[in-house]
Chains A and B, each alone.
Chain A
Amino acid sequence: MRTTVPVVIAFLSGLVLAVSIFFRPDKTIIGQLEPELLVWVTIIGGFTLFLGAVSITRVNFNAVQRRKKGWGYSLLTLISVFVMALPSLLPSTWSPLFGDAEGSIYDWLFQYLDKPMMATMFGMLAFYIASAAYRAFRARSAEATILLLTATLVMLWRVPMGEAFLRSIHTALPEWINTYVMNGVNMAVQRGIIIGAALGAASMSLRIILGIERTYMGKG
């Protein structure tokens, strides 16, 4: 029973979504089921947010209680979760500081703490790219040397000064890079990967719909 019911649900949901794209939503019930099922997913996702809150609280509370390595971060996480969540859950009619409108505690924390921290993390990506590029572009083999040369050409082409330099060698050089490197070799490889991935996804969907693949629910 624990296996059969989820397999049946997966089969029906998968089949309905696969078949519904071939029918007009305004003319058939089956055509209307796709958007309907996607709304269900959103609703179920909303309910499960409670599970996430329980998990984050339990893991961090245990870490603080047992003074695990880095327990200070766990304490900070717990404080942040509740300081951010509780005022936003209280009705704004009680105080303008509650709720999530402009000027509320939630809004202030989001605008002046959360957003700058996210931007900082994102900004650090530039340094990570530099260190990864250094490793990837070291000309240790023929392939790595080709990669280094191609990347140098593409990088030059992408910046105005580099493009001017390339044009000084040959006026059509930037167009050649665009045509043969980006829209040629690069595009062909990307499409190959995309076609393979799409077939892989379709094959996996079929295995799930037919109940052959059941590892995603802990079986098999």
Chain B
Amino acid sequence: MLKNSKIIPILITAFFLFLFLTVEPVLARDSEESAFRTERINALVLVLVFSAAVLLYTRWAKQGKTLFVRKIPGIDAVEEAVGRATEMGKPVLFIPGLQELDDIETIAAISILGRVARITAQYETPLLVPVRYPLVLAAGQEVVEQAYTELGKRDAYNRDIVRYVAGEQMAFTSTVNGMMMRERPAANIFMGAFFAESLLLAETGNAAGSIQIAGTARPEQLPFFIAACDYTLMGEELYAASSYLSKEPLMLGGLKGQDFIKIIIVILILIGVILVSFNVGGWYYKLFEMA
């Protein structure tokens, strides 16, 4: 059986071969308008530079190079929150957002759920995970079951830890609010995509006296979480949480690559600001326009 590391290069080669075979005949037949969207070449360059940076840092991490990642108090607080729940004998409530599984924020939330489930399994702390979509239910059940099995706590696993509660936004919110007031979880963890219900959930949790950790990439919901929660992961911290909790160098390499690109973007913004200030930035601005 081939290992994943060997399969990936083979798949990349096969994919580009397929691409070449399907695109080339079209290009030869119709040379007036290219099958490739040349107007998006700037985005392709950014994708390639970004991928190269992430892969390079991942490779360095693999080779054992020490990578510094700043402390993120919100993620460190997850273990503390589960510990508090264990001491109090109360459950931990984890909400993986209100979006479908095709949303990257939900995938990030499911990854964090896997890490949280490992901690709750270790301490045998009850875990409650209400979800809004059946696909998230299936993924959540798989992740939690795997975490309990890997820690040898298969007996403590209950299929209803992850449960479908409602498909409607406000029906979901009222069910979860009721759950908070009846079960009084010691810790509420909100991770993923949230909308108008963010404050309804976080304020109810606050009233129930739970320690609350939230994480979302939606800037319009961040003020609500900051006002009502003890810790808030902002934007990119949500995506970093899983890697940070894993403490695996390979995963942390991706975060460093991301930081490198951020520095490049800051430099590009500064150059843009200077050029536009001197009224000579038209050509520079056009470089970043995408059709």
Interaction A to B: yes
How many chain B residues touch A (CB < 8 A): the figure is 99
Scoring A122, A129, A132, A205 by chain B CB atoms within 10 A of each residue's CB, the highest score goes to A132
Contact of A27 with B30 at beta-carbon distance under 8 Å, contacts A125-B199, A211-B4 already known: yes
Residue from A58, A121, A208 in contact with B174 in the complex, judged by beta carbons closer than 8 Å: A121
Q: Which residue of B lies closest to A130 (CB)?
A: B203
A132 and B224 within 8 A (CB):
yes
With an 8 A cutoff between CB atoms, is B11 at the interface? Answer: yes
From the candidates B43, B102, B145, B254, name the one contacting A207 in the complex (CB within 8 A).
B254
Q: A202-B50, A218-B143 are in contact. Are A7 and B4 (CB under 8 A)?
A: yes
Inter-chain contacts of A218 with B (CB < 8 A): 114, 142-147
Instruction: Report the nearest B residue to A7, measured CB to CB.
Output: B4
* B36 and A23 form a contact (CB under 8 A): yes
CB neighbors of B among A19-73 (8 A): 19, 21-24, 27-31, 38, 41, 44-45, 48-53, 55-56, 58-59, 62, 69-70, 73
A39 and B174 CA atoms in complex are apart in Å by: 31
CB contact under 8 A between A213 and B219, given known A28-B35, A118-B170: no
**A79 beta carbon closer than 8 Å to chain B:** no
Cβ–Cβ contact B217 & A207, under 8 A: no
**Chain A residues, CB < 8 A from B43:** 21-22
Most chain A beta-carbon neighbours within 10 Å: one of B37, B164, B167: B164
A23 to B38 Cα, complex, angstroms: 9
Residues of A within 8 A of B80 (CB): none
Q: Which residues of A contact B147 (CB under 8 A)?
A: 218
Encoded as 1 (CB less than 8 Å from any B CB) or 0, chain A from 126 to 168 comes to: 0011011101100000000000000000000000000000000
Query: A194 on the interface (CB 8 Å rule)?
Result: yes
- Of A31, A48, A204, which is within 8 A of B35 by CB? A31
Cβ of B134: which chain A residues have Cβ within 8 Å of it?
A: 45, 48-52, 55
Once the chains are docked, how many angstroms separate the CA of A196 from the CA of B272? 18
Contacting pair A207 B251 (CB below 8 A): yes
CB-nearest residue of chain A to B217: A197
Asked if B182 is an interface residue, CB under 8 A from chain A, the answer is: yes
* Given known contacts A3-B4, A22-B40, A136 and B170 CB-to-CB distance under 8 angstroms: no
Q: Is the CB of A215 within 8 A of B165?
A: no
Q: A197-B217, A207-B251 are in contact. List 18 more A-B contacts (CB 8 A).
A: A21-B43, A27-B30, A52-B167, A69-B183, A117-B174, A124-B200, A132-B224, A193-B235, A199-B265, A201-B108, A203-B255, A212-B58, A213-B242, A213-B254, A216-B111, A216-B114, A218-B114, A218-B147
Interchain residue pairs with CB less than 8 A apart (5): A1-B1, A56-B164, A132-B224, A215-B246, A218-B142
The 4 nearest A-B residue pairs measured at CB: A218-B146, A200-B239, A200-B236, A197-B235
* Partner-B contacts on A (CB < 8 A): 1, 3-4, 7-8, 11-12, 15-16, 18-19, 21-24, 27-31, 38, 41, 44-45, 48-53, 55-56, 58-59, 62, 69-70, 73, 77, 114, 117-118, 121-122, 124-125, 128-129, 131-133, 135-136, 190, 193-197, 199-208, 210-213, 215-220
**B residues whose Cβ falls under 8 Å from a Cβ of A:** 1-2, 4, 7-8, 11-12, 15, 18-19, 22-23, 26, 30, 33, 35-37, 40, 43-44, 47, 50-51, 54-55, 58, 100, 102, 104-105, 107-108, 110-111, 114-115, 133-135, 137-139, 142-147, 159-160, 163-171, 173-175, 178, 182-183, 196, 199-200, 202-203, 217, 219, 222-224, 226-228, 234-240, 242-243, 246, 248, 250-251, 254-255, 257-258, 261-262, 265
